[in-house]
Amino acid sequence: MINEKTAPALNIKDLCVAYQQEGEWWEAVHEVSLQIQPGEIYGLVGESGSGKTTLALAVLRYLGKNGMIRQGKIELSGVDLVQLQPAEMRKLWGHQMALIPQNPQSSLNPAMRVGDQIAEVYRHTQDMETGEARHKAVEMLREVNIPDPGRVTLSYPHQLSGGMQQRVLIAMALSSNPSLLILDEPTTNLDVTTQATILDLLRSLIEQRQTAALYITHNLAVVAQMCRRAGVLYAGRLVEEAFINELFARPLHPYTQGLLESMPRLGDHKDSVRLRAIEGRAPVFGDIPSGCVFRPRCPIANEICETNPPLSVLPEGRKVRCHRWEVSLNEAGRSHLPDGRSDRNTTEKHQLQPLLSLEGVSVHYPLKRSLREVVRREPKRAVRAVEGMDLKILSGQTLGLVGESGSGKSTLARATLGVVDKTAGTIELLGIQLPDKLSRRTLDTLRKVQSVFQNPEEALNPYLTVGEILQRPMMTLLGWSRQEAIGRVPDLLRAVRLPAMYAERLPTQLSGGEKQRVAIARASAAKPNLLICDEPVSALDVSVQASILNLLEDLQAEHGNSLLFISHDMAVVGFLADTIAVIYLGELVEIAETGDLFKSPYHPYTEALLSAIPGTKVESRRVAAPLVGEIPSPIEKPGGCPFHSRCPRLVGEICKRQPPPWQSQQGSSKRYLCHIPWEELQAQQGDIQGFEISRG
Amino acid sequence: MLGYSLRRLGFLLLTVLLTSVIIFSVTQWLPGDVCRIILGREAGEKALDACRQDLGLEAPLPVQYLRWLADFSGGDWGQSFSTRTDIFPLVMQRLLNSLRLAVLTLLISVPLAVGLGVLAGLNEGKLVDNLISIGSLSVVGLPEFVTGILLIQLFSFELRRWGLPSLPANSSIRPEAGFVESLPSLILPAITATLVLLAYIARLTRSGVLEEMKQSYVRTADLKGLPRHIVVVRHILPNALLPTITVIAISFGWLISGLVVIENVFNYPGLGRLLVFAIDRRDLPLMQAVALVTVVGFALANLVADLVYALLNPRIRYTEGN
Amino acid sequence: MATHTGAAPSRGRRFVSQLRRLYAVPTAAFGTTVFVLFLALALLGPWIAPYGANQQDYQGARMAPSSLHWFGTDHLGRDVFSRVLLGAGEILWLSGGGTLLAVLCGTAIGLLSGYLGGWLDELIMRLFDSLLALPALLLALLMLGILGASAWSVLIVMVVVYTPIVARVVRSVVLSVKTRGFVEAARLQGESLGWILFREILPSVLPTLAVETAVRFSYGIFLVASLGFLGVGVQPPSPNWGLMVKEARQTISQTPWALYYPAGAISILVIGVNLMADGLKRIFQTRHD
Amino acid sequence: GRVGATQPAPAAPTQGQSVSAEPRSERNGILRVAMQPIVQADPAFISSDSEVLVANHVYDYLVDIDPASKVIPRLAVDWQIENDGLTYVFTLAEGVQFHDGSPLTAQDVVWTFNRLRDPELELPTADLYSNIADIQATGELEVTFILNQPNPFFLYDLSDNHALVLKANTQDAATKFNGTGPFKVTSYSPEDRIILEANKDYYIQDLPKLEGVEILFFNDENAAVDALRSGQVDLVMRMSTALFTSLQDEPGIYTLDIPTNGFDLVRLRSDREPGDDPRVIQAFKLATDREAILQLVQQGYGAVGRDSPIGPMYTQYYSEETPIPERDVQAARQLLSEAGYPQGLDIVLHTPDTGGRPDLAVVLKEQWAEAGINVEVSVEPESVYYGEERWLEVDLGITGWGSRPYPQFYLDVMLKCEAVWNESHFCDPEFDELTTTAGTSLDEAQQAEAYQKIQQILIERGPVIIPYFFAQFAAISDKFQGFELKPFAGRTDFRLVNLQE
Ligand SMILES: Nc1ncnc2c1ncn2[C@@H]1O[C@H](COP(=O)(O)OP(=O)(O)OP(=O)(O)O)[C@@H](O)[C@H]1O
Ligand SMILES: Nc1ncnc2c1ncn2[C@@H]1O[C@H](COP(=O)(O)OP(=O)(O)OP(=O)(O)O)[C@@H](O)[C@H]1O
Ligand SMILES: [Mg+2]
Ligand SMILES: [Mg+2]
């Protein structure tokens, strides 16, 4: 199918791209060479800031004013793009190359109908009549599986969901029938379920058209699923390149190994696996180390690494840029813990006290009624973000909460914290009912429940030093004097594995992972009984994510606090949680101890979530259809089973009319909300497992 | 969209009502005996008393306010204390003059300013941009009275001295003069006002263009292979000019009655000059009428801006109200 | 880009580094220099002015600029150079003082109103909307009618006219900052209102506030000069530049210099402050991209 | 070019551009005049010169005053004084019509003056006419006034600014302009302009010679002068000296000026601190340099004042016998110190915003500062300053007094104990007695002597400083002829003005 002998569609040679910053030029991409054959999807992975987008934009010759191609060649079908004039590039853009960007929302003109935005391509680059162009636009939309494309052409971007917007962009990119397609994290901002369908679509479209594609992502699993070959980019250098299977089975570069090992896989659990984080952080402008750029973080570096490593070309199309790749091959492997490493699991669950219990908690955000609604006396409407939630967190335990975006995870956390008012239900902490309003909670209650937020960039006041930030909770919640609090700061920093001198730093001088560590230190400073973590790692790179997950685990082992851990990433939740609750549209649909959750039967929604994870395989008797459509609006929730509108295992009318019962069985901690009984569902479903992609 | 418009209208009414309270109270605080001012320095006590009775100044303030509001909204704007003539026709005539000046100013300044702003934005950092930026920033620094005086020196006196056709230094116009007749009188004040607005609008347009050029959808449009001018006209401008619309509307409000200095320099019979006259003479009803007309005009301009903005911005048009 | 080693720079150093960035933009550098120069003139004015602000010489009235009187003399025989020089202090302290007061009030109100939200916020904002529906100059005129013309009245007018504007700007920043994680964290830590407002939120408002202050300041100079020109602000014989222009307009054909110098001074100062504000805007906005 | 030079009064009947002798039947030209806005339209309440100017052309006086302050006929073509100056009999002109077409009768005159003197109505003129015992229509066109006491200035009183003849029983003089005057009001747009057209039925044949007059209102003298310069108005009569001098080299414009009896008065309230101490009053006077003020504020136009309203134009009364003390700052300081102000005196000087008055205030501030009088100047709009009676209240203030044809007026309304506008709150029995003598005696010598003594008293202890008598200015486009400048601009007569062919 793909012939290595034919001329590559894209041939990049020794490309160096530099940016000007504060008057100085520095290279964000350094001596990168790669080829992509027609019909091939080439994956480019790397952490944030490694230069992936820069490379893509360089290929498109769309670097900003402060960017420039220092040296190298970019040959597209034999033509060196580096030599072309801007006007000539503009012609190529319309015909030979196209970009599918990361943020579909901002990549569409908000003030123009979607159909016009597509038709425009035909009108201006292919000289079509307006009517014909419109017609072609509808056709294109149909091709990317948009239901009712005629209506969608008349919509404005903001009226479409993220997945639909991304389809529109795909349609737009393909409308000029390019020979090179560049995909820059096209699914990163989408839900797993949407991501799965988009990935399928992309794969089949590229295959059909025999387009060469450069697929950029930081998600190794996606690469594994999509690409034939992949390159790993680190600090602008291509450190390794191989066919996918090889890369995952036998990573050669210590960095690639680190990446793979820092990523929890479906089914990994903290009790049995210790994640290996890559120490330190990626170099940025101003302090790129000499010699091997990975040297400061490399576990096997020695003196030789102070010189530039050569690119070793190995058989089977492998390339690696490392002095010691042969050594690294032997030292790999994650630490598997001896069984029963932690004794907290030996304690029987029923002996544990419930720390926090939610009963029938609902949170509705009232909607403002429009004038017309008031006049017509229509009932007040509300976003029913959380509805009738019953949950318990036992002391010393971790409860994981998963669900698609908009399912009410954050709302639940915020209601517990007291920053939003619940509409109904009770929240009890150690048997004492908590008041709704934060201002009415006692300092002691505040002390007992602390939280870590999703976005580390926003978590810390940029104008206070780390030391100042860490002192405060001790002063306010524990009533310590400033002196006492200052004295404890180094301990706190040490606990989150940061050097004591960081107390002097301002948040802008920290990396994202370091910020999140400080946020964790702050939250645990006053020794809370419950730490609520709302997606604490989703903004972080995998290598950093691992260290945060390890940290949370260590802290818990040390303090014995409970954890409410929210994530949309099943693997991450599965790694950390003792119990997992799956919520959909504000309602609990399934809850089980972690070990039990990954065994069938699954609630169809859980099943869909699991099977949508890239790099999973489903050993199913009947392959579950991917989820259709988007999560419905929590304003007008479907009656009956909340999931019936998207359920791939719909039974019939009963699902639409009758709220489903809880299903459970002796011997399993699992409960799920469905009309399909246990045995029947188990018969339909197989077990779902992560790809065995790296345990070689 | 309808719901949106109605809600905006509601806000407008609320603002106007609140402002009317402010105006009423502020004018009540003005020192000086209204009747003494009406009757002049030569009137006696008895006449003064009669006058106070006449004007209902004896009633408690809230009553006076409600009475005033009722009369005012009923179209009965009463008589000016100082000139003893009906306020309504007087204010309307001045409003018309102000509108003329405002419209002419906008006709000159908006295309010019938007053009310059777009030009500067598209050529960021280049010579044109720097010239426009520095030029507009310098114009910003010229107070209206300085510009006005200089323009008069130049276009009225100097030209006249050289025997060339010149523009009038004094812009007072006959009450019944038509637009064409009053045009020569309007030019200098309009230029002066234009100079104030020009820089403001141009800079705003420029930053709007720059802001939009950074957006990803522009990259999308470029990478579609569209010709540059199509990208500019169809993609960048419609979005970049949105904030400009609001500012133009606010400027319109300012033009209607904020031109006190310009009207003073050129002696143009607009609302601003009338208000200064009213304040000088403690002519409360006139003052209140002018201030309120101003506020209504200003609020209306804002309303129109909001609606136009919403109309051009599908994000508002299609999310509110349905 | 921040350096990753070493301790945090002191706040003073940060100020210096920001000033340096201001000087990196040529126009901003020019503007800042003009402002600093005028400030210096204002401070030194009383010592370097060759004559008093109201010192009259009836033999030497209406004299063209010469080595004796650099900017000439006005119709009352006063030295225009000295008056312009002394006027710098007058206009800077009035517009600067008024701006600062308005910024203080506006910041306090904006912080509270934005952070607390609710009906109080709604009420204050409606009230401010209404105040802002009156053109600033009209409001100023109405108020000066009440207060009577004097420097203090001008100060009060500036506070009343600018406080709503500053408050709204501050409020909008507060609204975006208060949903940030660190503010929520502070609330969860049981921090007091004062701490949250002034230590957590205020610093994030400061960059915007600095820009707004500079912009208000340039408008303030305008307002003070315009009121002077309309004769309703500060009283003669104050060397207010606007008032000087008004007075000199009567004698423009006899003593044009008495008009052009103060007019030029206003223009240069306002342009300078504008360029400075523009520079501040660039610095702070690129930082928050 | 400069045409009307300063001329001593009484002057020739025509000044400046002289009236063309040939009466022509054709009217031509519209004269556009810049004036400050009028507020009062009812003649009984008018006071500003623009109000008087309008009234003077819409209505007629019974008798008029010429530029030389001589009484001349207007509606009354002739009069007899009988009965030792107690009875005045006036004969009215024939064929006089109001603008509404009704004829003028003696009844109208009787009604007009009865209204003005009616104590019930409390009109400003009531006091002025309190001496009238009775007014009778003694014929269709004959009116007889009977006085209680002789009054040598009665004819002047009858030509008081307010004494315009209205139609009997007029109710709405404030808004309707029904006069007999040479011009009719065709449109009045408050604060903007008033447009007059020639009254074709005017009782004097061939008058007025203009087709019409447009009075454009200007709040700002500069704007008015600019308008003159750029040809939008033809005549400006109210401007500061600075503006006036600036017009002198302007082509196409005649500048005219005449000396007047008008003056700016600086007065200190004498009924309370600090003005109640004569030493303080003297200190103020000694600290003032009148010559410098005249040079700076009036640029030399007009005449130095001698602290009494009896100016050099009243040749038969004016006296320089009592010398004005030389300026002596040291002495002034000394006096202040003696009066209890060794550290100097802080005081606010109030002034209306018109003419050269703010300049005067500023100059005084500087001069007095040397003597330790620290003045804070407060400039207020004329309308507010006078409107609020602040001018009667404040300790230290400046007032402009327009020119009057006879000096008695000032003494009666401003300086006598009970005077309505006794702004300085001056009360001096000797002064009052002298004033009464001067105002009732028909003996010219006795009168002159009284006035001379009055001048002496005012110089010695009057709480007033009159730094100068100002000149009246006018600047008119050279397209017009027949314009004659009067000391009080409001009484300017446009009847003889017309466009030059
Ligand atoms: N226009 C620019 N000017 C200066 N530096 C830039 C510019 N764009 C990117 N950079 C820097 O270049 C480096 C590489 O950025 P790039 O966006 O290519 O990374 P990336 O791998 O795409 O990261 P991410 O996963 O976050 O998208 C980063 O350090 C970034 O800060
Ligand atoms: N302040 C609010 N006002 C109104 N609706 C809200 C508000 N906050 C959240 N919602 C709505 O409530 C629903 C649940 O939101 P929530 O943030 O709890 O979801 P989530 O599961 O945390 O999603 P994500 O994964 O995107 O963080 C969503 O439909 C959201 O739009
Ligand atoms: Mg990227
Ligand atoms: Mg969330």
State the closest ligand 1 atom to the C-alpha of A19, by its place in the atom list counted from 1.
Answer: 4
Which of D218, D173, D364, D224 has the alpha carbon at shortest distance from D287? D364
Token pair for C55: 């010192």
What element of type H or E holds D88? Answer: strand D87-92
**How far is C67 from A31, CA to CA, in rounded Å?**
69
Record: contact C58-D221, CB cut-off 8 A: no
Q: Which domain holds residue A311?
A: 256-336
**How far is A58 from A545, CA to CA, in rounded Å?**
29
**How far is D160 from D131, CA to CA, in rounded Å?**
14
**How far is C138 from C145, CA to CA, in rounded Å?**
10
C4 domain-assigned:
no
Q: Region A524-541: what's the mean pLDDT? A: 90
ipTM: 0.81
Determine the pLDDT at residue A389.
92
Q: Region C145-163: what's the mean pLDDT? A: 86
What element of type H or E holds B216? Answer: helix B216-223
Q: What percent of chain B has pLDDT over 90?
A: 16
| Confidence class for position A648, pLDDT limits 50, 70, 90 | confident
Which of D109, D101, D225 has the alpha carbon at shortest distance from D166? D109
CATH code where residue C88 lies? 1.10.3720.10
Determine the pLDDT at residue B40.
62
- B88-312 belongs to which homologous superfamily? MetI-like (1.10.3720.10)
Q: Region A397-403: what's the mean pLDDT? A: 94
Q: Report the domain count for chain C.
A: 1
Q: Region A6-12: what's the mean pLDDT? A: 89
Q: Is the pLDDT of residue C71 over 50?
A: yes
Beta-sheet strands, E only, within A369-515: 382-394, 398-402, 424-429, 432-433, 449-452
C264 domain-assigned:
yes
* pTM for the model: 0.83
| Confidence class for position A64, pLDDT limits 50, 70, 90 | confident
Q: Is the pLDDT of residue A46 over 50?
A: yes
Instruction: Report how far apart the first and last C-alpha atoms of chain D are (Å, whole number).
Output: 19
C-interface mutation test, from A458, A498, A518, most C Cβ less than 10 A away: A458
Does residue D250 sit at the B interface (CB-CB below 8 Å)? no
A168 domain-assigned:
yes
* DSSP string of B151-205, one letter each residue: HIIIIIIIHHHTT-----S-----TT--HHHHHHHHHHHHHHHHHHHHHHHHHHH
Q: Is the pLDDT of residue B274 over 90?
A: no
Q: Which residues of B touch C278 (CB under 8 A)?
A: 137
CA of A532 to the centre of ligand 3 (A): 30
Please answer whether residues A563 and A399 qualify as being in contact, where contact means their C-beta atoms are separated by less than 8 angstroms.
yes
Which range has the worst mean pLDDT, A84-88, C219-223, D137-141, D313-317?
D313-317
A330 with A397, same domain: the answer is no
Does residue A110 sit at the B interface (CB-CB below 8 Å)? yes
C5 domain-assigned:
no
- The residue to which tokens 């014995």 are assigned: A560
Determine the pLDDT at residue A519.
93
Touch of A by C (3+ CB pairs closer than 8 Å): yes
**How far is A44 from A225, CA to CA, in rounded Å?**
13
**How far is D478 from D252, CA to CA, in rounded Å?**
5
Q: Which residues of D touch B46 (CB under 8 A)?
A: 120, 122
Q: Is the pLDDT of residue D288 over 90?
A: yes
Q: Is the pLDDT of residue C8 over 80?
A: no
Does residue A94 sit at the B interface (CB-CB below 8 Å)? yes
Q: What is the mean pLDDT of chain D?
A: 85
Q: Is the pLDDT of residue C101 over 90?
A: yes
CA of A566 to the centre of ligand 4 (A): 8
| Confidence class for position C7, pLDDT limits 50, 70, 90 | very low
Please answer whether residues D264 and D278 qualify as being in contact, where contact means their C-beta atoms are separated by less than 8 angstroms.
no
* DSSP string of A301-328, one letter each residue: --GGGGSPPPEEEETTTEEEE-TTHHHH
**pLDDT tens-place string over residues D156-207:** 888 988 889 999 888 888 888 999 999 999 998 888 899 999 988 888 888 8
Touch of C by D (3+ CB pairs closer than 8 Å): yes
Beta-bridge partner residues of A242: A230
Which range has the worst mean pLDDT, A269-273, A466-470, A691-695, B153-157?
A691-695
Please answer whether residues A318 and A241 qualify as being in contact, where contact means their C-beta atoms are separated by less than 8 angstroms.
yes
Q: Report the domain count for chain A.
A: 3
Within 8 A by CB and 6+ apart from C195, the residues are C186
Determine the pLDDT at residue B171.
81
CATH 1.10.3720.10 domain locations along chain B: 88-312
Which of D118, D122, D64, D39 has the alpha carbon at shortest distance from D384? D39
C250 domain-assigned:
yes
Angle made by CA atoms C173, C179, C185, in degrees to the nearest 5: 120
Q: Is the pLDDT of residue A262 over 60?
A: yes
Q: Which chains touch B (3 or more CB pairs under 8 A)?
A: A, C, D
**How far is A522 from A533, CA to CA, in rounded Å?**
13
A238 with A89, same domain: the answer is yes
Q: Region D416-434: what's the mean pLDDT? A: 89
A90 with A159, same domain: the answer is yes
Q: Is the pLDDT of residue D23 over 70?
A: no
Q: What is the mean pLDDT of chain B?
A: 83
**How far is C123 from C132, CA to CA, in rounded Å?**
14
A492 with A391, same domain: the answer is yes
Which range has the worst mean pLDDT, A51-65, A334-348, D192-206, D237-251?
A334-348
Q: How many helices (H) and strands (E) does chain A have?
A: 25, 28
Pairing assessment for the beta strands A382-394 and A354-366 based on DSSP bridges: antiparallel
A383 domain-assigned:
yes
Token pair for B1: 């969209």
CATH code where residue A226 lies? 3.40.50.300
**How far is B194 from A20, CA to CA, in rounded Å?**
40
A205 with A228, same domain: the answer is yes
**How far is B61 from B64, CA to CA, in rounded Å?**
5
> Within 13 Å, how many C-alpha atoms sit on residue A382's CB side?
13
Q: Which domain holds residue C132?
A: 27-288
Q: What percent of chain C has pLDDT over 90?
A: 33
DSSP code at position B231: I
**pLDDT tens-place string over residues B121-130:** 999 888 999 8
Q: Is the pLDDT of residue C87 over 80?
A: yes
Beta-bridge partner residues of B79: B86
DSSP code at position D462: -
Which of B290, B263, B285, B262 has the alpha carbon at shortest distance from B275? B290
Which range has the worst mean pLDDT, A321-325, A371-375, A443-447, D415-419?
A371-375
> Within 13 Å, how many C-alpha atoms sit on residue B268's CB side?
37
Q: Region B149-157: what's the mean pLDDT? A: 87
* DSSP string of A99-155, one letter each residue: EE-S-HHHHS-TTS-HHHHHHHHHHHHS---HHHHHHHHHHHHHHTT-SSHHHHHTS
Determine the pLDDT at residue D152.
85
Does residue B200 sit at the D interface (CB-CB below 8 Å)? no
**Partner residue facing D379 (CB), from C61, C236, C250:** C236
Sign, CA torsion B246/B252/B255/B258: negative
Pairing assessment for the beta strands D2-4 and D193-198 based on DSSP bridges: unpaired
Q: Region A453-457: what's the mean pLDDT? A: 86
> Within 13 Å, how many C-alpha atoms sit on residue B38's CB side?
22
| Confidence class for position C14, pLDDT limits 50, 70, 90 | low
Q: Region B273-291: what's the mean pLDDT? A: 82
Helix (H, G, I), strand (E, B) or coil at D74: coil
Neighbour tally for A63: CB within 10 Å: 17
C15 domain-assigned:
no
**How far is A321 from A232, CA to CA, in rounded Å?**
10
Within 8 A by CB and 6+ apart from A155, the residues are A113, A114
Cis upstream peptide for D190 (omega within 30°): no
**How far is D295 from C61, CA to CA, in rounded Å?**
9
Does residue B214 sit at the A interface (CB-CB below 8 Å)? no
Q: Is the pLDDT of residue B5 over 80?
A: no
Task: Among A161, A383, A538, A583, name the best residue to mutate to test ligand 2's pocket (greatest count of ligand atoms within 8 A of Cβ).
Answer: A383
Q: Is the pLDDT of residue B43 over 70?
A: no
A384 domain-assigned:
yes
Token pair for A229: 């070959």
Which of A457, A459, A438 has the alpha carbon at shortest distance from A449? A438
**Partner residue facing A458 (CB), from C181, C190, C199:** C181
**How far is D258 from B258, CA to CA, in rounded Å?**
41
Q: Is the pLDDT of residue A695 over 80?
A: no
| Confidence class for position D19, pLDDT limits 50, 70, 90 | very low
A314 with A382, same domain: the answer is no
Please answer whether residues A671 and A591 qualify as being in contact, where contact means their C-beta atoms are separated by less than 8 angstroms.
yes
Q: Is B74 exposed, middle or buried (0-12, 13-18, 19+ CB in 10 A)?
A: exposed
User: How many angstroms from the chain centroid is the CA of residue C36?
Assistant: 13
- The residue to which tokens 């010189």 are assigned: A307
Does residue D175 sit at the B interface (CB-CB below 8 Å)? yes
User: What's the 3-state SS for A625-646?
Assistant: CCCCCCCCCCCCCCCCCCCCCC
**How far is B33 from D383, CA to CA, in rounded Å?**
12
**How far is A45 from A541, CA to CA, in rounded Å?**
11
- Rounded to the nearest angstrom, the minimum Cα separation between B118 and chain C is 18
**How far is D96 from D181, CA to CA, in rounded Å?**
9
C225 domain-assigned:
yes
Cis upstream peptide for A601 (omega within 30°): yes
Which range has the worst mean pLDDT, A641-655, B40-54, B212-226, D150-164?
B40-54
A325 with A432, same domain: the answer is no
